[in-house]
Amino acid sequence: MEQWVLTLMTFVPLLGAAVITFLPKDQHNLIRWTAAAFAAVPLLLAFWVWQTFNRAGVGVDDLAGFQYVVKLPWIPAYNIEYFIGVDGLSAPMVLLTALLSFLCIFASWGISKQLKGYFALFLLLETGMMGTFVSLDFILFYVFWEVMLLPMYFLIGIWGGPRREYAAIKFFLYTLAGSVLMLVGILALYFQGGQTFSLIELMAHARDFANPALTIFGMNFAKVLFVAFFIGFAIKVPVWPFHTWLPDAHVEAPTAISVILAGVLLKMGTYGMMRISMPIFPGAMQDFAFAIAVLGVINILYGAYCAMAQEDLKKLVAYSSVSHMGYVMLGMAALTPQGMTGAALQMFNHGTITAMMFLLVGVVYDRAHHRQINGFGGLGAVMPVYTGVAMLAFFASMGLPGLSGFIAEVLVFLGAFQSYKWLTFLSALGIILTAGYLLWMIKRVFLGPLNEKYKDMPEINARELFTLVPIGLIVIYLGIYPIPVMDLMDGATERLVTLVTSF
Amino acid sequence: MELNSNGVALAVLFGLALALVGVMYLAATYLGPKKFNKAKLQPFECGMDPVGSPREGGLRLRFYVVAILFVVFDIETIFLYPWAVSYSKLGLFGLVEVLVFLGALGIGLFYVLRKGVVAWK
Amino acid sequence: MDFSGLNVAALLPELLVSGGGLLVMALHAAFRGRQDRQLVWVSLASVVAALAFCLNPLTVEPGYFGSALSDPMAFAGRITVLAALVLLLPGGVAYARSRNLPQAEYLSLSLFAATGMMALASAGDLIVLFLAVEVLSISLYCLAGLMGERESSRQAALTYFLAGSFASGFLLFGMALLSGSAGTLDIAALGTGLARVSGTGTQWVALGGVVLMIAGLLFKVGAVPFHSWVAEVYSGSPTVVTAFMSTAAKAAAFAGFGRVLLALGSVSEAWVPLVGICAGATMILGNFTALVQGNFKRMLAFSSVAHAGYLLLGLMAVGAAGESLEAVIFYLLPYVLANAALFLVAAKVSQAGSGNYKLDDYKGLARRNPWLAGLLALLLLGLAGMPPLAGFMGKFMVFSAAVRAGHTGLAVLGILTSVVAVFTYLRPVVYAWFHEPEESGALNLDGGLAFVVWVAGAGLLLLGLWPRLWLDLCAGIGV
């Protein structure tokens, strides 16, 4: 019975979306609370999964290590299956998705335009995200990946800022281009890999794919496909130079959607690399590891430099995401156990920290209706509680010891240093840049003389605190004692590293 | 050599026909007397001088519709001949098929009559 | 004479539908047009009777000495055509009534055209194939000109007639050469017949026949380079007729095309490069031309050219590599459902707006009728091939079949051009959802149109999630 827990987590939000479409249009609170109730179910189930998860199982290419597995034929003619399960790579992501989705319902309380549509699409988005993380069948994965794309497009395009149409279409086209490359790759794998879409079985064919005699369009099969999948995922991360959709989408998206975008959607890129690219093409991963590490370092430094130049608070946070996702890439490319665990942990921690930062930006935007860094000043005096929470988030983002960001970055550096000394040295400069743009921003927004315009700015309210405090507690808790999340992923990350390095 | 198998005979026949027509045509063009006058260049209208322009007085659309109807029922007759010839072999089945065919055309005729296509106004 | 191979039941669906058409004509004439409002029920009754009969396994035996088949292709073609009729006739009659077009003629001609389409899908020999093509084409020429007082409609009818006659000429000449050299009219036996003459001088005659027949069929399905009539005919014809042409007629033409190519599989080297080039060009040209249209109806017209390209790709795989027809059969049904509903929606939205199918009419549709805007998005994205809608499964099957048959390059081209298609289909969605309405006031659907749109939307979702529903039905009845 209990293996259905993942199915429930995935489809309860969808049911919620259906229920919401039939609620009366003007019952705003009813709609909000219904959405919250349906988002609470996956959260509770995710906690349960987190508690009962067998830490000894490894997963990745070993089906026995996956938990709550359901495997049913879906389209037998093409061997497409409803095949889901979690391992150490996906379990933290599932937890993160459930948590952020639930909190974002409350961060969306202020939405007033077409409430029904907003919450229905939001829940549909949650279904797409959950499904992507639990799928073990390639077509199922692709279907959920695309299902997630559409609500996101509408959520940005309808409820976004002034340039929402441009941002939504740009987001859609970039992501679609990536997923189309992925589809081509999926088909190629299907016909080379014994006509199966099961990720586990495809991993077992890794040697066949790597056969140097196997070519596609005159080039090495594994390498071509690795690059195709890499670009597909890189657009989502986003890896420089595919990152330009991200600032636009973030600036225009409503607060809660920015949180989901940065907190969950970006992780899908790196998650895809870990779940698909690395175990299916271990040889190509070895060949391209250095290039990926270089891209990671470019992300770190370029993102940080761009963040420093931003006038818009939200754009600053968006570029900080680009920078922080660079650490994930670097850790992954190091192909050492510490680096991989650091990358996986960074995915989770960046999800929580950046979510806090976007929520915080949302709080001040709701009051001042602008996000210009230079338009504020001295907010610390009028909003002490808000400032306190904000400091926590920004310091965590900077990687201050004792907060969760620190552990992940240290692990990444430890892991990467063994493989690429100079690159690690360069990327460590990113920490200085991060401290630079965050502290400079804090100085301009929270410190200094009070901007008279905002002397009556109301303090952060209970609902907003409710969205921030749980994440804040997690950030502090994992900063002191990261084991509860790390032991979820340890087995899987180690397995992943051995899989690639021993190939 | 057998002519039929490779179509040489057919080609020869075709060539001869073409040549004959060509020769006659050319002969008529070059040998025939050409004396034009006004009456000869005018459109033919039963020997009388034409009345008005051919564009205005042309045939009414109804003529074409009736002509098409005629073709339809003419072809109906053509279909009936082979049936009539092999009536005894086709038997009851043939009769039913022909009745279905005639029934369909009958409905068409009924429709045409009711639409007033042949009502002469 | 021995009539044991007759089995009239094999043609009963066609007989029922054409009988319905005759009955409509007779009733219209008998009541002098006073009871025209009831005629749609007569038509629907004959369609439903035919549907019920198709689902009855009695029809499995081929009839008329092998001229009328009842295989999965015939079954799928018939059901697709009949489904299109069920969706289109009620809306079509309402459309005809509101614009003062002759309803009885609309109905009976549609039924006659459908008879031809169904016969085309189930044709077992070349003569029946040609007859079916002519029956459907001539009915459609008349339907295209139904709005006779409007110049665009007359022009559409004449263009369609000229282009169609040209195509019929190609087709007939090709058939003559082909059947002459293969020594048979039976489509299924063409392959063995041609194998006998390979290596002799006759094979060049046969090759000419194959090329001419394919050219004629490419004309009929509106593929590049014979696509130029499509835009004019589709945009000039009354919208409900366009819907019929681009759905049922196209499905039937592809069924017939598939049958011919399947039979010519043994000489695939003669036509695969030809059809491949046409498929690639069709995908590129159809998608890019659709992209730049500012007129919804023309956009749908060119998008249906693009879909012909994907279907050709599926057919190539079928004929050349012995793939099953599954991919093509599956692709057609969601395509027909979505297009039928979209054309009807287009007629409605245009009537309430500019009256000339401008994309601008869709601005702010979400404010005026959110359900309609939502379903519009669903249908368009279904055509675009976004999962989990059926369009995705159709494209997936076609592309997999192509890859399996070794046409990887064309499959990649197909996938890339689908991205262009997504952009095309998103434009009305963007207008509907992200723009403010130019006109205020709700845009309400009448019951019939709402039924069509919901059925099509539900069908796209259902077929996307359980594609086997349709395929198993085809396989179960037909085999």
pLDDT digits (tens, 9 = 90+) for C411-458: 889 988 988 888 889 888 888 888 888 777 778 888 778 888 999 999
Q: Is A60 left (phi over 0), alpha (psi -120 to 50) or beta?
A: left
CATH number of the domain at B118, please: 1.20.58.1610
In a domain, B26, yes or no: no
Burial class (CB in 10 A: 0-12, 13-18, 19+), B16: exposed
What integer is the mean pLDDT of C276-304?
Answer: 91
Q: Please state the domain count of chain A.
A: 1
Helix ranges restricted to H, A335-482: 337-368, 379-382, 384-398, 404-419, 421-445, 462-480
Pick C29's closest partner by Cβ from B89, B90, B114.
B114
* C-alpha distance from residue C107 to each of A80, B69, B102 (Å): 43, 21, 22
Pick A165's closest partner by Cβ from C381, C387, C434.
C434
- Asked if the bond preceding A484 is cis, omega within 30° of 0, the reply is no
In a domain, B112, yes or no: yes
Which structure tokens are listed for A283? 């040889």
Residues 6+ apart with CB under 8 A from A135: A83, A84, A141, A144
How would you write the pLDDT of chain A (503 residues) with one tens digit per residue?
778 888 989 999 999 998 988 888 888 888 889 999 999 999 999 989 888 888 887 877 888 888 888 888 888 878 888 999 888 888 899 999 999 999 999 888 888 888 888 899 999 999 999 999 999 999 999 999 988 888 898 888 888 888 888 888 888 888 888 888 888 888 888 888 778 888 888 888 888 888 888 877 778 888 888 999 999 999 988 888 888 888 888 888 888 899 999 889 999 999 999 999 988 888 888 889 999 999 999 999 999 999 988 888 889 999 999 999 999 999 999 889 889 999 999 999 999 999 999 999 988 888 888 888 888 878 888 888 888 888 899 999 988 888 888 888 889 999 998 888 888 888 888 888 998 899 888 888 888 888 788 878 888 888 888 888 889 999 999 888 888 888 888 888 888 888 888 87
Residues 6+ apart with CB under 8 A from C36: C28, C103, C104
The per-residue pLDDT for B55 is 66
What integer is the mean pLDDT of B47-65?
Answer: 71
Dist CA A28 CA A32 (whole Å): 6
Burial class (CB in 10 A: 0-12, 13-18, 19+), A476: middle
Which structure tokens are listed for C49? 């009777």
If one counts every other C-beta atom within 10 angstroms of the C-beta of residue B25, the result is 10
Chain C: closest CA distance from residue B86 (Å): 11
Q: What angle do CA B41, B42, B47 make, to 5 degrees?
A: 120
In a domain, B45, yes or no: no
Q: Which residue in C392, C401, C400, C395 sits closest to C465, CA to CA? A: C392
The per-residue pLDDT for C176 is 92
Query: Is the separation of the CB atoms in C418 and C384 below 8 Å?
Result: yes
pLDDT digits (tens, 9 = 90+) for C224-277: 888 888 988 998 899 999 999 999 999 999 999 988 988 888 888 888 888 999
The answer to whether A18 faces chain C, any CB pair under 8 Å, is no
The residues facing C68 across adjacent strands are C63, C123
Which structure tokens are listed for C450? 């709402």
Query: Is the separation of the CB atoms in C36 and C62 below 8 Å?
Result: no
The per-residue pLDDT for B21 is 93
Pick C433's closest partner by Cβ from A76, A154, A184.
A154
Label residue B1 by pLDDT band (50, 70, 90): very low
Per the model's pLDDT, the better-predicted residue between B121 and C117 turns out to be C117
In a domain, B87, yes or no: yes
List the single residue in C with minimal CA-CA distance to B114: C29
In a domain, B70, yes or no: yes
Interface of A with C in 168-227 (CB under 8 A): 168-169, 172-173, 176-177, 180, 183-184, 187-188, 190-191, 216-217
The per-residue pLDDT for C477 is 56
The residues facing C123 across adjacent strands are C68
Strand (E) or helix (H) holding A216: strand A215-216
Query: Is the separation of the CB atoms in A200 and A61 below 8 Å?
Result: yes
The residues facing A372 across adjacent strands are A312
Query: Is the separation of the CB atoms in C93 and C228 below 8 Å?
Result: no
In a domain, A458, yes or no: yes
pLDDT digits (tens, 9 = 90+) for C13-53: 899 999 999 999 999 999 888 888 889 999 999 999 999 88
In a domain, A241, yes or no: no
Q: Is C442 left (phi over 0), alpha (psi -120 to 50) or beta?
A: beta
Dist CA A105 CA A259 (whole Å): 11
The per-residue pLDDT for A354 is 92
Residues 6+ apart with CB under 8 A from A83: A69, A70, A71, A72, A135, A136, A137, A140, A198
In a domain, B65, yes or no: yes
- Look at residue C479 and tell me whether its pLDDT is greater than 70: no
Query: Is the separation of the CB atoms in A350 and A320 below 8 Å?
Result: no
CA A283, A287, A289, A292 dihedral sign is negative
In a domain, A481, yes or no: yes
Burial C161-196 (b: 16+ CB within 10 A, else e): bebbeebbebbbbbbbbbbebbebbbbebbbebbee
In a domain, A71, yes or no: no
List the single residue in C with minimal CA-CA distance to A178: C419
Strand (E) or helix (H) holding A69: strand A67-75
Q: Which domain holds residue A461?
A: 306-503
The per-residue pLDDT for C478 is 46
The answer to whether B87 faces chain C, any CB pair under 8 Å, is no
Chains near C with 3+ CB pairs less than 8 A apart are: A, B
In a domain, A485, yes or no: yes
Residues 6+ apart with CB under 8 A from C288: C420
Residues of B whose CB is below 8 A from C6: 93
Chain C: closest CA distance from residue B35 (Å): 41
In a domain, B116, yes or no: yes
Burial class (CB in 10 A: 0-12, 13-18, 19+), A219: exposed
The answer to whether C31 faces chain A, any CB pair under 8 Å, is no
Answer whether A187 sits within 8 Å of C399, measured CB to CB: yes
Query: Is the separation of the CB atoms in A288 and A267 below 8 Å?
Result: no
Q: What percent of chain A has pLDDT over 90?
A: 25
Which structure tokens are listed for B61? 């659309």
Residue whose structure tokens are 């929470």: A389
Residue C149's SS3 state is: coil
If one counts every other C-beta atom within 10 angstroms of the C-beta of residue B47, the result is 6
Burial A387-410 (b: 16+ CB within 10 A, else e): bebbebbbbbbbbbeebbbbbbbe
CA B25, B28, B30, B36 dihedral sign is negative
Pick A191's closest partner by Cβ from C392, C404, C434.
C404
In a domain, A224, yes or no: no
Residues of B whose CB is below 8 A from C32: 114
Label residue C129 by pLDDT band (50, 70, 90): very high
Q: Which domain holds residue B91?
A: 56-121
Residue A327's SS3 state is: helix
CA A61, A64, A70, A71 dihedral sign is positive
With touching defined as 3 or more inter-chain CB pairs under 8 Å, the answer for chains C and A is yes
The per-residue pLDDT for C127 is 92
Q: Please state the domain count of chain B.
A: 1
Chains near A with 3+ CB pairs less than 8 A apart are: C
Residue whose structure tokens are 């289909």: C425
pLDDT digits (tens, 9 = 90+) for C163-202: 999 899 999 999 999 998 888 889 888 888 888 887 787 8
In C, what residues contact B, Cβ < 8 A? 1, 3, 6, 22, 25-26, 28-30, 32
- Asked if the bond preceding A238 is cis, omega within 30° of 0, the reply is yes
Burial C346-360 (b: 16+ CB within 10 A, else e): bbbbbbbbeeebbbe
Q: What percent of chain C has pLDDT over 70?
A: 97
Answer whether C426 sits within 8 Å of A143, measured CB to CB: no
pLDDT digits (tens, 9 = 90+) for B29-46: 888 888 888 777 777 767
Residues 6+ apart with CB under 8 A from A312: A251, A371, A372, A373
ipTM of the complex: 0.82
pLDDT digits (tens, 9 = 90+) for C383-404: 988 888 898 889 988 988 888 8
In a domain, B1, yes or no: no
Residues of C whose CB is below 8 A from A77: 326, 468, 471
